[in-house]
Amino acid sequence: MDDRPVMTEPDPGIGSADSRGSTEVIWWAVGLLAVVLAMLVSGFDVTVSSVATVAFLMLILTLRVGNAMANPIDGVWLPQLVAWAFLVKLLGSGVRYYVLVDEYSGAGDAVAYHERASSMARAWRALTVPVSEGLDAGTRFVDVVTSLIYTPWIPPMLGGFFIFATLAFLGQLALYAAFRRVMPPKAWRTYAILVLLLPSLVFWPSSIGKESLMLLFIGLAALGIAGIYKRFNVGSLFVAAVGLSGMAAVRPHVAALLVAAAVLGGILARPSPRPVGSGWRRLLMVVVLLASFVVLVQFGSSYFDIEDPQEIDEFVADVSRNTAQGGSEVSGSAVGRIADIPSATLRVLFRPFPTEAHNLQALLSSVEGVLLMGLMLWKLPHIWRTMRSTRRHPYLAFSGAFTLGFVVAFSPILNLGILARQRVQVLPFLLVLVVGHGWTSRRSHGDAELTEDLQAVQSSSRRPPP
């Protein structure tokens, strides 16, 4: 009997696929990109070479990030998924551009951002500081960021759309990295497919504007918070700070809501072998997040010009009154009691229903809402069985708290068109709840804590001998 050890082929590592497979993916991606660009630029007054240059540079950047992210467990499929998902993102950005230019005759915030940023970029080149007056703080921040991106070279507006679509896509990758850091491998691929290819996340945050930047900063904040829950190190705190600072500059109320959810996730989570830290680290985490919450609440109050807490009711009433118009308005009210939460949840997260759709865009949004509800109903028994694990997993508690808080905070909005755009900020966390509970078992939640050790062992086993 032969007692010699059997040599097995090592698992694929970073960059996963062999060089032949990776090259094939890249060439297919570039070829499809050329077809997509040919479709997009036909009939538009844009410079084909300029748009193609921007798209190609963004493609290479994204492929590099996807390959760098791949680890020994998801290295087989992640780079390929990133390549194809990014091309879908570019296609969604082109459709967003077409809708703005053709359907709305250029009447949109993205056009104004592009024009102001182009003018400000010329000022930066002349070594002068541009000034944008009469705009809210979030709009000014987007103007400055866009102008800095445009300073080396001002692209056509479609090129600007591609750049912001890439920023949003990087945020989606960060959201996947956060999920991967704290959840068991069994659920990774499902979450990656959903968070990278969900139609709302492909379409809305793919133009010049706040939605794209918010998705980028939300992804960074989530990645930092996941790291804080895991070990509470300085690097994770820095990433979370960058993400929350960017969120605060664009929409401070959403940043405050995210920090509040992070605090609840850290406090309510039940201790386990390696949860959110222990002793002084756990206390320090809560103190830092609470301090951030206080600062963001004050910033948000000044952002909305609310000086007295008694003015909040008046502000909510104004929001409901102002959004109950425009053709997509529905009946409803802000959440004032627990009984209001179910109807508000349906309105904020899932509507319009197919019977409420009055155009193609609303119909597609309604189909997505129905599919999400169907996905939740399909996995409902499994979600119910694993619900207890929420307290063992701070990131699940954080996602649940943010989703619920988002529903309450945005319940005064009665325009389904506005809600379809705004909900992209919470959909990644709703997916965390659905996939985190629906695709794992109670035992596998505990296995998530061993993921990093498993990756380290597999990585070291592939190192060549000295």
* Pair 221, 260: CB distance under 8 Å: no
Provide the pLDDT confidence category of residue 325 given band limits of 50, 70 and 90. Answer: low
Whether pLDDT at 16 is above 60: no
Least confident of 139-148, 195-204, 313-322, 342-351: 313-322
CA–CA–CA angle 74, 192, 71 (5° rounding): 20
Whether pLDDT at 456 is above 50: no
- Summary mean pLDDT of the chain: 79
* Pair 78, 151: CB distance under 8 Å: no
As beta bridge partners, residue 329 has 415
As beta bridge partners, residue 415 has 329
Residue listed under structure tokens 């991606």: 29
pLDDT of residue 326: 60
> How far is 358 from 161, CA to CA, in rounded Å?
27
* Pair 205, 168: CB distance under 8 Å: yes
Whether pLDDT at 24 is above 90: no
Provide the pLDDT confidence category of residue 33 given band limits of 50, 70 and 90. Answer: low
Residue that wins the pLDDT comparison between 327 and 141: 141
> How far is 209 from 104, CA to CA, in rounded Å?
16
Which range has highest mean pLDDT (96-110, 177-191, 385-399)?
Answer: 177-191
Q: Residues 164-188: pLDDT tens digits?
A: 999 999 999 999 999 999 898 999 9
Q: Residues 420-436: pLDDT tens digits?
A: 999 999 999 999 999 98
Provide the pLDDT confidence category of residue 334 given band limits of 50, 70 and 90. Answer: confident
The token duo for 268 is 């309510």
The token duo for 462 is 């592939």
* Pair 269, 276: CB distance under 8 Å: yes
Provide the pLDDT confidence category of residue 308 given band limits of 50, 70 and 90. Answer: very low
Task: Tell me how crowded residue 6 is: count the other CB atoms within 10 A of its CB.
Answer: 5
pTM of the predicted model, to two decimals?
0.84
* Pair 433, 375: CB distance under 8 Å: no
Residue 275, classed as helix, strand or coil, is coil
Provide the pLDDT confidence category of residue 229 given band limits of 50, 70 and 90. Answer: confident
Provide the pLDDT confidence category of residue 444 given band limits of 50, 70 and 90. Answer: low
Identity of residue 200: S
Q: For 211-235, what is the mean pLDDT?
A: 91
Smallest CA-to-CA distance from 206 within 300, 94, 111, 372 is with: 94
> How far is 154 from 160, CA to CA, in rounded Å?
8
Q: For 63-76, what is the mean pLDDT?
A: 87
Identity of residue 149: I
Whether pLDDT at 130 is above 80: yes
Task: Count CA atoms closer than 13 A to 209's CA, side-chain side.
Answer: 18
Q: For 400-408, what is the mean pLDDT?
A: 94
Which range has highest mean pLDDT (18-27, 358-367, 387-396, 430-439)?
Answer: 430-439
Smallest CA-to-CA distance from 113 within 138, 142, 156, 133 is with: 142
Whether pLDDT at 47 is above 80: no
Question: What is the Cα 228 distance to its own chain's centre?
Answer: 18
CA–CA–CA angle 301, 253, 230 (5° rounding): 130
Whether pLDDT at 85 is above 70: yes
> How far is 344 from 339, CA to CA, in rounded Å?
10
Task: Tell me how crowded residue 277 is: count the other CB atoms within 10 A of its CB.
Answer: 21
> How far is 107 from 247, CA to CA, in rounded Å?
26
